[in-house]
Amino acid sequence: MIRADHILQVRWTAGSGWQTPQIAPYQQIELDPAAAVLHYGFECFEGMKAYKDAWGNARLFRPEINLDRLNRSAARIALPTFDASELLKLIVRFVKLEERFIYGKPGYSLYLRPVIIATNSNLGVTAPTAALLYCIACPVGPYFSAGFKAINLEATSSAVATRAWPGGAGNHKIGGNYAPCIAPEKAAKARGFQQLLWLSGADDRITEAGTMNLFIVLRSEQEEQFELITPPLDGMILPGVTRDCVLSLARERLRPSGWIISERQICMSEIIQAAGAGKLVEVFGTGTAAVVSPIRSIQYGDTLVQCGLARHQRAGAITALFKEWIEARQYAVEEHPWSVPVSQIS
């Protein structure tokens, strides 16, 4: 992984609050072996991108959502929160220093990784008394450099493996949510699947796939009426920025032509029934890394559910449309308030 040149760092202590921010050359961070992050997982993070528009201006995409989410994640694990507008200004200073890593080509961007960890070194399991907020970055290219690649999911019921549970912290971007998913995911990969589809409850409700939010397009009873469905923000899924973009764009551009846009529970049984009746049109995942990720099939026990793609088709039409619509705003091909030139933030 190529990394950008710098690291943004801000230290915090319970006694003195946040210290003066520093941007330094990229470097190792020094931690006491007893640091709380290494023992109890006090860590939260964000994933966001800086883009370059056709005129060469660096831009951020809905950054306030990421920074508010970072604060909610931090609060959930008793880490200190930060003034989101001040952090945005720091990130802008950081991005300006790293501008040469934002290649002005379609699909390229600078991935930004803000993190907060607990650095206090007492072994008691208590609220952190010292923390470090930092941000690093790396340039990334198009996720699908050779065209879309549809993936096959293996559905796993929550009795077998789960990433989130009612009252848990699955709706936050905290490190502790990710490591426990890797062993079940590795096992699914060995069986030939690219990602797990995490189900919830005895009725096998859909939650998320890997680290993507999930969308399902159904043709409804009345022929030629369509429903776009995604699970609700009930604490079991991560509130994705890309998820929100898809919902907003769908309400703006699909609802006027009769589409139903639903944030609602959907079980495997409904998906299987729709597929059997020829009404499962498309399934796709969303996230900052890929924008949208087409899904070809879902293995559910002994049942293989085909998700509407023809054999040689790489992505559904609606999936491809959302990618086009979202990227048009990210790269300011369509001028829209979601994309902010860093020069306008100070």
Task: Give the residue nearest to ligand PLP (CB).
Answer: 240
For ligand PLP, the closer of residues 133 and 214 by Cβ is 214
C-alpha dist (Å) from residue 75 to 139, 173, 285, 329, 342: 29, 11, 27, 31, 27
Name the DSSP class of 247.
H
What angle (nearest 5°) sits at the alpha carbon of residue 172, between those of residues 171 and 177? 95
Length of the chain: 346
For ligand PLP, the closer CB: 217 or 246: 246
CB of 238 to ligand PLP, least distance (A): 4
Binding-site ranges for ligand PLP (CB under 6 A):
47, 173, 208, 211-213, 238, 240-243, 286-288
**Of the two residues 112 and 281, which places its CB atom closer to ligand PLP in the complex?**
112
* Sequence-separated (6 or more) residues with CB below 8 Å from residue 205: 199, 231, 265, 266, 267
Cβ closest to ligand PLP, residue 47 vs residue 341: 47
Q: Please, what is the minimum distance in Å from the beta carbon of residue 221 to ligand PLP?
A: 31
For the bound state, the minimum distance from the C-beta of residue 232 to ligand PLP, rounded and expressed in Å, comes to: 14
**Measured distance CA(108)–CA(319) in Å, rounded:** 20
Beta-bridge partners for 97: none
Please say which residue, 241 or 261, places its beta carbon nearer to ligand PLP: 241
**CA-CA distance, 261 to 174, in Å (whole number)?**
29
| CA–CA gap between residue 234 and residue 248 (Å, rounded) | 19
Token reading at 137: 């970055």
Q: Which is nearer to ligand PLP, 174 or 268 (CB)?
A: 174
Question: Least Å distance between CB 223 and ligand PLP?
Answer: 33
Least distance between ligand PLP and beta carbon 142 (Å): 16
Shortest approach of ligand PLP to residue 211 CB, angstroms?
4
CA-to-CA dists, residue 259 to 37, 224, 226, 322, angstroms? 46, 9, 5, 15
Minimum CB distance to ligand PLP smaller for 68 or for 203: 68
CB contact at 8 A, 259 and 226: yes
Q: How far is the CB of 224 from ligand PLP (least distance, A)?
A: 30
Residue among 12 and 284 whose Cβ is closer to ligand PLP: 284
Q: What is the Cα–Cα distance from 292 to 285, expressed in whole angstroms?
A: 6
Q: Which residues contact residue 92 at a Cβ distance below 8 angstroms, ignoring those fewer than 6 apart?
A: 60, 342, 345, 346
CB within 8 A of 61, min separation 6: which ones? 48, 49, 51, 241, 329, 330, 338, 339, 340
**Least distance (Å) between residue 147 CB and ligand PLP:** 22
